[in-house]
Amino acid sequence: MYHRAYNFGFNINYTSKPVTFWFSAYLYVEKALFLQTIMTTEEIRALLNDIESDRVERTISTTNTDKFGQAICAFANDLPDHRLPGYLFLGVKDDGTVTDLNVTDELLKNIAAIRTDGNIQPQPSMTVEKVSMDEGDIVMVRVEPSVFPPVRYKGRIWIRIGPRKGVANEDDESILMEKRRTNVTSFDASPCINATIDDLDLQKFKHYYLPKAMTDDEIEEDRKEGRTVKEQMASFGFFDTKYDCPTNAGMLFFAKNLRRFIPGAYIQYVRFAGKDRAGDIMTEHEFKSNLCTTLEELDTFVETTIANRRPIPVSPTREDPFVDYPYWATRELLMNAICHRDYTSNGPIQFYQYDDRIEIMNHGGLYGKANEQNFPKVNDYRNIIVAEGMKVLGFVNRHSRGVQRVQRELMANENGEAEYDFSYQTAVMVKEMKSPLGERALQEAIARGFVTENGEKRSDLTISEDKNGHKNGHKNGHEGDRKTSQKTPKMKVSKFPAPIVEQVYKSLRLNRKAKYSWLQDNLGVSEATIKRAISDLKELGYINKEHSKIKGEWQLLK
């Protein structure tokens, strides 16, 4: 879901009177009304002094984000089912004493960012406020109970056990999953009644998804506790233990034969000759496997085929790479279509390529709080479990900034901004125009004699420059060539096979301890792309890993 930061420009000031207030707070609001967050002095003091409450946590720290994240996660899970918000107070001792915290806008922003940094899934509803008491200032974080528990922080399910927090056990998870079922409204969270566990590729779940969603220690704990694969899948929303069948999300990610159960769950790619559908079909392909497979296939397809990356001479000694469609931006548009589509429709996602553009249409239209007037600043999730799964696999970031970054990359490549068409009502069409940069560079190379009219490199002509910078051309091997003629300068082609490989190498030079997740977040590409780039760098002899795989550092060999 998309959550906006609101700056109300005045500050809450709690004196001995019930309420005298001026606000300066960053409130991240999901559904709670602003007035619901205002409390009287007596209410806040009662919470501060109630040391036995499982709805309150106090701390004097301002930097322990793991502690804050665990507390927020626990309040969102609301294991006792209070159906009331939980409160995290910063600047308050365990006995309820206020320490007069120095509350800055930067601190408020950092605390509020915990919910959107990707570590808490699904994102909770919470507010962050600066509160002025008689003894000094504190920060109050209010967390609403989640309608889609269990909520995880860095892969672990945290709960409140009286006044303390801890990691949920198997019985706790069962309670939270039952709460989720009572709140189920989305298609992906609903049980797929006609399917059984045998219809799922469990190896894909165990060896591909689970290692990305949980740490090795957590997986080992599950093994020791004897948790079944059904229980593990249920904790992610992929299996419904009440009906003993996979959920629709479980089918989308792991089904052996997905279209048997969800007929419209595939991507139809067609390359048309010309600028409309009247042209001949040059090639077509259906991406119809489960999402674990399809997302990887699309990632590779966009990078190697759609982007159309090729080197074009721009001088006698240099070639520059050009692409028709930026890899990351195009992939992001496809991932958004997969994440947000209406899977109850039997129609596929249409991924159509013409001579001058790409069009992507997905069924469903805008959802929830998102509408044509507030898009893309306001976002909402039709398929919350699908969004969580794609985040785990590294194909979306859920920071609600993908569209803005897409537009920026398209403008940088002179594609123009992506055009969204909401007039279909039950579907959304997005159009990405082809960049003119490559064709412009090719025509310039032809005009300057670097390539032939067919776009092929000239084999019969040597291009060089004299001391005055004038271009000279002569045929290779001509009998009248003078011995003093200049030698042909060699084209300087990038030593890296792809731009992303060079970007990864430069990132490793800056951070020798970089992990795949760090590279993925900083470069905005999938884990699969990072792994391919690392493999290329190893094969080319640029890098190696020192010591252990987990704690080692990258060794730069060149």
Q: What is the pLDDT of residues 250-309, one digit of tens each?
A: 999 999 999 999 999 999 999 999 999 999 999 999 999 999 999 999 999 999 999 999
> Quick one: pLDDT band at residue 488, thresholds 50, 70, 90?
very low
> Quick one: pLDDT band at residue 484, thresholds 50, 70, 90?
very low
CATH number of 282-338+365-433: 3.30.565
Q: Taking the domains of the chain in order of start, what are their residue ranges?
A: 5-167, 184-261, 282-338+365-433, 499-556
Asked if domains 5-167 and 499-556 share a fold, the reply is no
CATH number of 499-556: 1.10.10.10
Cα–Cα dist 54/78, whole Å: 9
pLDDT exceeds 70 at position 512: yes
Of 64-68, 124-128, 261-265, 481-485, which gets the smallest average pLDDT? 481-485
Span 300-319, average pLDDT: 89
Query: DSSP letters of 224-246?
Result: HHT--HHHHHHHTTSEETTTTEE
Beta bridge partners of 545: 554
Cα–Cα dist 500/515, whole Å: 16
Per DSSP, the three-state class of 440 is helix
CATH class name, domain 5-167: alpha beta
Span 229-237, average pLDDT: 94
Question: Among candidates 495, 499, 507, which has minimal Cα distance to 539?
Answer: 495
Is residue 105 within a helix (H) or strand (E), and if so which, with residue range? Answer: helix 105-112
Question: Among candidates 132, 100, 127, which has minimal Cα distance to 114?
Answer: 127
pTM given for the model: 0.60
